[in-house]
Amino acid sequence: MPLVDHHCHLDFPDFASELNEVVARAASAGVTTLVTISTRVRKFNVYRAIAEQHPRVFFSVGTHPHQAHEELDVPVAEIVARSKHPKCIAIGEAGLDYHYDKSPRSAQREGLLNHIQAARQSGLPLVIHSREADADMADLLEAEMAKGVFKAVLHCFTGGQQLADRALALGMYISASGVITFKKSDALREVFASVPLDRLLVETDAPYLAPDPHRGKRNEPSFVARTASALASVKGISDEAIADATTANFYRLYDKAKTS
Ligand SMILES: [Zn+2]
Ligand SMILES: [Zn+2]
């Protein structure tokens, strides 16, 4: 039952002392393929080195919304050029985070628009981070998709039904994190029940958001099996069926992962 953790942050200091063990534990839990996600283009060499050291770890290039204001000077052409590395399979994560508002909203928006351009030009999927920004995100995605198509996933989805419906109508994928295992997440589970099986992904977003029963501890890619199992219950199917579907969806969306 192979699973993919398409969104984790293996460069974070939380993993520094035992990265080999963390990747090995994931593999023995059936989580055979990982994508370590960029939060800063200027840390590109760090992500690249991790991917080059581990055969089944891929990486992305982009600027997290928290850091958007720090990297608006990075040209779209640079993001696209860096994405040519054979193991760089996605653009992002970029987006809108109105919960923390660590970067001015105008900067987050400008950063996201740059990354959409990079996704169009590279043909790689865009990893979108959206928190408490449902209406602005849906409006922006619809307007941008009308100007030119791009592939995308709403990662660690915690939004409402409307954002899910509008993203699905644009052909996007929706990814579940450990949040769907939490007791209070009934409304979120309802949203996920409505997402077609061929648009679902699972992730850890490690080291954050460990699923129950690990909640509050450091998360790691091997725990994605818990989230997959919770998603299987939500969809009323077996763990094997959710693993098959989410893994097939991963290779369809992140189609560069196959050939690397
Ligand atoms: Zn994120
Ligand atoms: Zn992330």
* Domain span at 166: 3-259
Residue whose token pair is 């055969």: 55
Q: What is the pLDDT of residue 240?
A: 97
pLDDT digits (tens, 9 = 90+) for 41-68: 999 999 999 999 999 999 999 999 999 9
Rounded to an integer, the average pLDDT of 179-199 is: 97
Q: Tell me how far the alpha carbon of residue 28 lies from the centroid of ligand 2, in angstroms.
A: 23
| Overall domain count for the chain | 1
Q: What is the pLDDT of residue 231?
A: 98
Q: How buried is residue 167: exposed, middle or buried, by Cβ count under 10 Å (0-12/13-18/19+)?
A: buried
Q: What is the pLDDT of residue 1?
A: 67
Q: Tell me how far the alpha carbon of residue 197 lies from the centroid of ligand 2, in angstroms.
A: 23
Q: Tell me how far the alpha carbon of residue 185 lies from the centroid of ligand 2, in angstroms.
A: 20
Among the bound ligands, the one closest to the CA of 38: 2
| pLDDT averaged over every residue in the chain | 96
pLDDT digits (tens, 9 = 90+) for 111-160: 999 999 999 999 999 999 999 999 999 999 999 999 999 999 999 999 99
Q: What is the pLDDT of residue 251?
A: 97
Among the bound ligands, the one closest to the CA of 131: 1
Q: Is the pLDDT of residue 38 over 70?
A: yes
Indicate which CATH number applies to the domain containing 26.
Answer: 3.20.20.140
Among the bound ligands, the one closest to the CA of 65: 1
Give the percent of the chain with pLDDT over 70. Answer: 99
Q: Tell me how far the alpha carbon of residue 157 lies from the centroid of ligand 2, in angstroms.
A: 11
Q: Is the pLDDT of residue 181 over 70?
A: yes
| Pairwise CA distance, residues 9 & 36, whole Å | 5
Q: Is the pLDDT of residue 260 over 60?
A: no
For the chain, how far is it from start to end, CA to CA, in angstroms? 22
| Pairwise CA distance, residues 247 & 56, whole Å | 14
pLDDT digits (tens, 9 = 90+) for 8-23: 999 999 998 999 999 9
Q: Which residues face 174 on adjacent strands?
A: 154, 200
Beta-carbon contacts of residue 186 (< 8 Å; ≥ 6 apart) = none
Among the bound ligands, the one closest to the CA of 204: 2
Q: What is the pLDDT of residue 101?
A: 96
Q: Tell me how far the alpha carbon of residue 8 lies from the centroid of ligand 2, in angstroms.
A: 6
DSSP, collapsed to helix, strand or coil, labels residue 63 as coil
Helical H segments across the chain, by residue range: 19-28, 44-53, 76-82, 105-122, 134-147, 161-169, 186-193, 224-235, 239-253, 256-259
pLDDT band at 216 (very low <50, low <70, confident <90, very high): confident
Q: What is the pLDDT of residue 258?
A: 75
Q: Tell me how far the alpha carbon of residue 176 lies from the centroid of ligand 1, in angstroms.
A: 12
Q: What is the pLDDT of residue 202?
A: 98
Q: Is the pTM of this model over 0.75?
A: yes
Report helix, strand and coil shares of the chain as percent, to nearest 5: 50, 15, 30
